[in-house]
Amino acid sequence: MTGTAIISALAIWAAGWFINARLANSAAANTRLVRLLVPAIFGLTLLIMWELLVRLLEVSPIILPPPTMIADRFANEIPTLWADFVQTIVKGAMTGYIIGMLAAFGVAILADRSDFLTRGILPVGGFMAALPIVGIAPIFVRWLGSDWQSKAAVVAVMVFFPILVNTVAGLRDTTAMQRDLMRTYGAGYWPTLFKLRLPAAMPFIFNGLKIATTLALIGAIVAEFFGSPTVGMGFRISTSVGRLALDMVWAEIVVAALAGSAFYGLMAWIEGRVTFWHPSQRK
């Protein structure tokens, strides 16, 4: 039985790979459709292999449920999943993301005015960014209570540093010629900032914002493990493990992956609109 399972799984893998290889090397490789199709086929191949191996090897659903069971649970629990999504992502992660982002911008501009501050803040900020979130989260829950505010605070702290570093790097990215040009126009600090340096910094800033999207999600979910009201993705995942409802755990993971990818995609789209002039945006 094990032998059949492994051979069929490998066969599916080979089939999927073959299709993808043909598509990727075909003439239509650069079209939008193929670019979406190839990862989709890859993902589908993995799902089929998963389903096959779990069913044929008779793995207990308490250890790893098959994708069909997860999909079934997902479809049946949409109200719960939605409530969890609002609590964790909208209230916790997004609020924290915006707070962290604004704080990072503020500190970056402050640091920009003073080289002394920059050289002080960056190393110290690096140390603070190394504090593992698993340690910070319970402390924030103790300080701010179990509701979404503590989750937002954890997220704000987590996203602050990547955005700060990237913004500072971006603000420094203008060449001397460009800055001299602004001086010939008689532009002071603030006009130069808004008309030259901030737009020039946008590619770096968005790099930081994209990294921060995944951090925000993870921060909000992890913080919920340490105390929460009876709603929220972290809460649901943790209690579902306790109740051996592994299919619910995976349904929540699917929501997290979808939300994270959507958030990242949104940032990438905004980046495309704002930094249309940058070489990396050339098709």
**Using CB under 8 A, which residues numbered 198 to 257 contact another protein?**
214, 217-218, 221-222, 225-230, 233-235, 237-239, 241-246, 249, 252-253, 256-257
Q: Binding to another protein by residue 280, rule CB under 8 A?
A: no
Q: Binding to another protein by residue 24, rule CB under 8 A?
A: yes
HEC readout, 148-217 = HHHHHHHHHHHHHHHHHHHHHHHHCCCCHHHHHHHHHCCCCHHHHHHHHHHHHHHHHHHHHHHHHHHHHH
Q: Binding to another protein by residue 98, rule CB under 8 A?
A: no
Binding segment toward another protein, per CB under 8 A, in 93-101, 127-135, 193-201, 271-279:
127-135
Residues 60-79 that bind another protein (CB under 8 A): 60-64
Applying CB under 8 A, the site for another protein has a residue count of 77
Residue 156 CB, nearest approach to another protein (Å): 17
Decide whether 28 or 194 has the Cβ nearer to another protein: 28
Site string for another protein, 143-172 (x = CB under 8 A): x-xx--------------------------
Q: Binding to another protein by residue 25, rule CB under 8 A?
A: yes
Decide whether 34 or 198 has the Cβ nearer to another protein: 34
Q: Binding to another protein by residue 55, rule CB under 8 A?
A: no
Decide whether 99 or 139 has the Cβ nearer to another protein: 139
Residue 149 CB, nearest approach to another protein (Å): 12
CA distance 86 to 235: 13
What's at 256, amino acid-wise? Answer: A
Decide whether 10 or 24 has the Cβ nearer to another protein: 24
Decide whether 27 or 190 has the Cβ nearer to another protein: 27
CA distance 177 to 98: 34
CB 23 within 8 A of CB 31: no
Cβ partners under 8 Å of residue 148, min gap 6: 87, 88, 91, 92, 95, 232
Q: Binding to another protein by residue 192, rule CB under 8 A?
A: no
Please name which of 135, 142, 130, 133 lies closest in space to residue 93, comparing C-alpha atoms: 133
CA distance 240 to 258: 20
Residue 48 CB, nearest approach to another protein (Å): 15
CA distance 208 to 162: 5
CA distance 120 to 117: 5
